[in-house]
Structures are given as C-alpha cells and as structure tokens.
C-alpha cells in the first residue's frame, strides 16, 4: 500500500464550497482518474482519504492538504496531473509527494492568512492591529453547535502585519491588507475571530465583508514566525532513501518480478 500526500487550493468562487462539497468532488475525481484506491472495510466501504485542517467555508486557500492510500504504486507527479485535470478549475492539485514519514496532521501547527479589508485605510488597520497585539487577551464569542462560546483570540496570533493594497486601484478607494500567522490551538482561532477581536479591542469595523485567503500552513518556527512546508520532510526522506522497496524488489528481479516503481520522483 502506498500513501500519497497532496496539496490543493480553493480559489475564486470555489472558496464557497464546503468541506463536504469538496469531499464529494474529490471522490468523483478519484474515480475519473482511475486511481487504485484502498477502501475501508464494512458494509459501506469508503476510499481511504485523510483530510487535514480544512479551511472554513467562504475562505480561499493556497495550502490545503490531504493523504490518500493506494493499492498499487503510482508516480506522485503523474497522479497529481490526473487528479488536477479531473477537478473543476479553482480546486487545483498543485503538489504531490509520496508519504515517507508519519504525522502530516501533527506538522500543521500554524497558518498564514491574508485578509483584505476594502474600505479600510491602512493607517486605521495598523492602529487597530497595534491595539490588538498590545492586549494580553481579547475575548470574542462564536456560535457553535452547543451555543455561544467565548474564548481568547489574542493568544493564538503569532504575528499580525498591515500593508496597503495596490496604490493604482481604479476606484481609488482605500484598502488594507492584514497578514496573520495563527497557531492551531483548541478551540481553533479563525480569521473571522481575529476580525471580531479587532472590532472588540480597537473598534475596527470594515464596511464590507473581508476577503480571506490561507497562504500557507505547516510547521511553526517560534523564533522567526515562519511557517514551513509540511511536505518537506517527505521530500528529504525521498532524497536520502529513494525507495525503501528498492532492495527487496531488486533481490527478486532475477526470478521475473517486475522492478518498476522502485523509486518515484516528487512534484
């Protein structure tokens, strides 16, 4: 059994697809691409797909991850291309690597988010960000399936920076860009929670809904605040040991077994 880890995007209108919508679309893509999937046991078998920390509905993302299990070995780069061609534009599979290490979900420690605030001057956003960062805690509320829940939105924010959008906007309106680095904690702190915190702590209230995009997620370097590629350990392992199966396959080759697939490139 082979495990392949994929990075995919949610762009444009497809950011409004729910996680369940994406699951259905992805399973259809697996069938179209004739991927040799492994299935769960029981009366209703399901393809073995592990989804990790999906972005909220309505937010765009350049860094969503999942892992699939196969019954036959496939080249990750070729598989990526087949799946990408089988999904609608906006749900794009942009990277694939053979899983050679454990714990992909454990590596998703933080996310980098970009929040576009149309109608907000960069100076006002910077002032509000400074107030938010200076606070020891910022209590916000979110409705959950068990009712309203209050929690601290400040503690999870590792970094918060402000910049201006392109100065040559045709409408001439102000637009601020926030870039957040948010730790993955329990309860999860989402970009809209940080916006609620900015409203509560600094009275920042954008006149129109914010456009939110996840730019990256992965391991967090607490010293620098950098979020690194969670697939890098698999690439490093592939470089150090191109294929764990190469030895046994080579040993059985004289008896007529096919050694093909003993090593795979990565996308």
| Residue pLDDT, tens place only, 201-211 | 999 999 999 99
* Chosen domain end from 220, 235, 260: 220
| Same domain as 209, residue 113 | yes
| Same domain as 39, residue 18 | yes
| Same domain as 113, residue 62 | no
| Same domain as 112, residue 93 | no
> Is the confidence at residue 123, as pLDDT, over 50?
yes
Segment among 42-51, 148-157, 238-247 with least mean pLDDT = 238-247
d(CA 230, CA 245): 24
Q: What is the CATH number of the domain that holds 83?
A: 3.30.70.580
Q: What is the largest CA-CA distance in the chain?
A: 75
| Same domain as 138, residue 84 | no
Question: Is there a domain that residue 17 lies in?
Answer: yes
Per-residue burial over 195-220, b if 16 or more Cβ lie within 10 Å, else e, is bbbbbbbbebebeeebbbbbbbbbbb
Given this model, what pLDDT does residue 96 score? 97
| Same domain as 205, residue 138 | yes
| Same domain as 162, residue 86 | no
Domain coverage including residue 44: 2-99
Question: Is there a domain that residue 246 lies in?
Answer: no
| Same domain as 215, residue 112 | yes
Q: What residues form DSSP beta bridges with 189?
A: none
Tally of CB atoms within 10 A around 129: 22
| Same domain as 111, residue 85 | no
d(CA 121, CA 77): 44
Q: Structurally, how many domains does the chain consist of? A: 2
d(CA 116, CA 161): 12
| Torsion angle defined by CA atoms of residues 185, 186, 189 and 190, in that order, rounded to the nearest 10 degrees | 100
Segment among 61-65, 80-84, 169-173 with least mean pLDDT = 169-173
Segment among 35-39, 207-211, 262-266 with least mean pLDDT = 262-266
Question: Is there a domain that residue 264 lies in?
Answer: no
């Amino acid at each position: 059994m082979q495990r392949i880890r994929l990075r995919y995007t949610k762009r444009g209108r497809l950011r409004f697809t729910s996680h369940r919508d994406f699951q259905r679309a992805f399973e259809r893509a697996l069938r179209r691409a004739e991927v040799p999937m492994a299935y769960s046991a029981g009366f209703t078998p399901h393809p073995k797909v592990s989804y990790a920390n999906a972005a909220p509905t309505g937010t765009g993302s350049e860094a969503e991850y999942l892992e699939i299990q196969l019954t036959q070995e496939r080249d990750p780069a070729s598989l990526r291309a087949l799946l990408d061609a089988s999904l609608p534009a906006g749900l794009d599979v942009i990277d694939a690597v053979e899983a050679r290490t454990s714990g992909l979900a454990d590596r998703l420690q933080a996310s980098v988010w970009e929040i576009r605030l149309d109608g907000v001057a960069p100076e006002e956003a910077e002032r509000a960000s400074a107030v938010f960062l200076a606070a020891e805690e910022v209590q916000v509320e979110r409705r959950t399936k068990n009712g309203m829940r209050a929690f601290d939105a400040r503690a999870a924010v590792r970094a918060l920076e402000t910049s201006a959008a392109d100065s040559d906007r045709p409408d001439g309106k102000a637009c601020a860009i926030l870039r957040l680095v948010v730790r993955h904690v329990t309860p999860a702190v989402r970009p809209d929670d940080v916006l609620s915190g900015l409203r509560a702590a600094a009275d920042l209230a954008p006149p129109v809904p914010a456009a939110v995009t996840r730019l990256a997620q992965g391991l967090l370097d607490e010293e620098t605040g950098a979020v690194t590629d969670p697939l890098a350990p698999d690439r490093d392992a592939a470089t150090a040991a191109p294929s764990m199966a190469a030895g046994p396959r080579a040993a059985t080759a004289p008896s007529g077994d096919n050694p093909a697939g003993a090593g795979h490139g990565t996308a």
